[in-house]
């Protein structure tokens, strides 16, 4: 049948506006674009494979889950329509959306990919909190929409969801994203297998390559049974994508813990969310002066993780003194001999190629000159110290070389 309107089980009328994707007589992809008769809101109708009663029951349960429906970035079923013997699931329509897989063909900035990774972890953690396992997490089942230039992530296709009273999942999920234990479909998705699939997606986003890609001759099945092939600790780690050393050590540790075959040791989505939230809030990135590769800044980094160019020595000079800053240095009275300067006046720390100054003194003035402009710093203020900057502690001046 090719109706121009469809009636839902909840009494709504949808006007058919176009066909999105046809796979033959028994469709399993996105099929019809429709508009709700009353509001005019756009939706998509996805026709279910004929005879899959468990899939119909799954969507009927998801439709009644109020907490799930309250998550706008999880495109759960909003209604169900019938057309003769066919059953269709109504889900929200995304304007100008692209899949994460499509994004990876035209990557955006490192920081934007971090934000996208955080949103993915957040959505998976929200589902886990409801006892729902998506069951088919992949870069094809996550979509991205730019709202005023800001990326917003949506999870789609809950056809394989399980848990929370839902029927058992029907398949293992995408073979490039499923954990090893899911090859036996009697092993239902759980928090551990979901964490594995999430980590594969994040690996694609943050390192620009799939963690199964290898030059060792390993098949997909063998790769998912092997500890993380891109571990920086491996003497012969895989050469594809970005070097994993570009990442913050916390992310390296979490990939190592999650992309391995033991389900009991994997890092859950909520912990991924916590780590990514911290890093995005303080997403300090630098670009190597030699190779221009971006990398995360942290205190333990002393060279570019891509080309291995060592960072310049950090020297602070005052009068005849030349003070090197290996990791940290406390500037104060002992360095200038002025009793008006606090004994612990300014704490200077090194974060990769950067120097950071934290004012500790609340009783004596502190001034900074950067880019030719002087300004007074407040107690507790933390500022970067670029090369050539000057710090004035009372009347003693220190220059960053």
Residue-level pLDDT at 229: 96
- Cα–Cα distance for residue pair 125/20, rounded to 1 Å: 31
Give 89 or 24, the one with higher predicted confidence: 89
Whole-model pTM: value is 0.78
- pLDDT class of 399 with cuts at 50, 70, 90: confident
Please say if the pLDDT value at position 313 is more than 70.
no
Residue-level pLDDT at 385: 82
Residue-level pLDDT at 51: 55
Residue-level pLDDT at 100: 94
User: Tens digits of per-residue pLDDT, 135-189?
Assistant: 999 999 999 998 777 889 999 988 889 988 888 887 888 899 999 999 887 889 9
**Strand stretches in 49-141, DSSP E:** 79-83, 86-92, 98-99
Please say if the pLDDT value at position 27 is more than 50.
no
Residue-level pLDDT at 4: 85
Please say if the pLDDT value at position 33 is more than 60.
yes
Domains annotated for the chain, with CATH where assigned, are 5-92 (3.30.200.20), 98-296 (1.10.510.10), 315-400 (2.60.200.20)
User: Tens digits of per-residue pLDDT, 2-18?
Assistant: 678 888 888 888 888 87
Residue-level pLDDT at 314: 63
Give 286 or 113, the one with higher predicted confidence: 113
Residue 70: how many CB atoms within 10 A of its CB?
11
Give 13 or 322, the one with higher predicted confidence: 13
Judged on CB neighbours under 10 Å (0-12, 13-18, 19+), 349 is middle
Radius of gyration of the chain (CA): 27
Residue 130: how many CB atoms within 10 A of its CB?
15
Residue-level pLDDT at 198: 98
User: Tens digits of per-residue pLDDT, 348-375?
Assistant: 877 777 778 888 888 888 888 888 889 8
Please say if the pLDDT value at position 57 is more than 50.
yes
Judged on CB neighbours under 10 Å (0-12, 13-18, 19+), 206 is buried
Average pLDDT over residues 259-263: 96
- Minimal CA–CA distance to 193: which of 119, 268, 139, 123? 268
Q: To the nearest whole number, what is the mean pLDDT of the chain?
A: 85
Give 50 or 88, the one with higher predicted confidence: 88
Among 239-253, 312-326, 387-401, the least confident range: 312-326
């Amino acid at each position: 049948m090719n109706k121009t309107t469809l009636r839902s089980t909840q009494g709504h009328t949808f006007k058919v506006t176009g066909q999105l994707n046809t796979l033959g007589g028994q469709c399993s992809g996105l099929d019809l674009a429709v508009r709700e008769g009353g509001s005019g809101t756009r939706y998509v109708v996805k026709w279910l494979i004929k005879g899959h009663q468990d899939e119909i029951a799954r969507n009927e349960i998801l439709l009644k889950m109020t907490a799930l429906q309250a998550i706008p970035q999880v495109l759960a079923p909003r209604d169900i329509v019938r057309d003769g013997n066919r059953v269709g699931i109504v889900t929200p329509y995304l304007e100008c959306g692209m899949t994460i897989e499509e994004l990876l063909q035209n990557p955006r900035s490192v920081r934007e990919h971090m934000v996208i990774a955080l949103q993915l972890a957040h959505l998976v953690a929200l589902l886990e909190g409801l006892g729902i396992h998506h069951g088919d997490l992949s870069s094809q089942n996550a979509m991205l929409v730019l709202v005023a230039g800001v990326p917003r992530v949506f999870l789609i296709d809950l056809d394989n969801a399980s848990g929370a009273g839902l029927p058992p999942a029907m398949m293992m999920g995408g073979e490039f994203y499923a954990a090893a234990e899911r090859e036996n479909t009697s092993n239902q998705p759980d928090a551990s297998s979901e964490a594995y699939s999430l980590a594969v997606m994040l690996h694609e986003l943050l390192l620009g390559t799939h963690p199964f890609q290898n030059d060792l001759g390993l098949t997909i099945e063998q790769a998912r049974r092997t500890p993380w092939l891109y571990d920086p600790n491996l003497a012969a780690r895989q050469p594809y994508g970005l070097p994993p050393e570009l990442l913050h050590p916390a992310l390296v540790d979490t990939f190592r813990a999650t992309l391995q075959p033991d389900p009991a040791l994997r890092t859950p989505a909520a912990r991924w969310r916590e780590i990514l939230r911290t890093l995005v809030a303080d997403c300090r990135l630098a670009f190597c002066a030699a190779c221009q590769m971006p990398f995360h800044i942290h205190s333990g980094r002393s060279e570019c993780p891509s080309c291995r160019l060592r960072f310049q020595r950090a020297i602070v000079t005052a009068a005849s003194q030349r003070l090197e800053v290996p990791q940290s240095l406390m500037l104060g009275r002992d360095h200038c001999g002025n009793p008006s300067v606090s004994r612990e006046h300014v704490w200077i720390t090194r974060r990769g190629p950067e120097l950071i100054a934290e004012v500790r003194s609340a009783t004596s003035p502190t001034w900074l000159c950067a880019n030719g402009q002087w300004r007074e710093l407040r107690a507790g203020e933390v500022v970067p110290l670029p090369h050539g900057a000057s710090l004035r502690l009372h009347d003693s001046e220190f220059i960053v070389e």
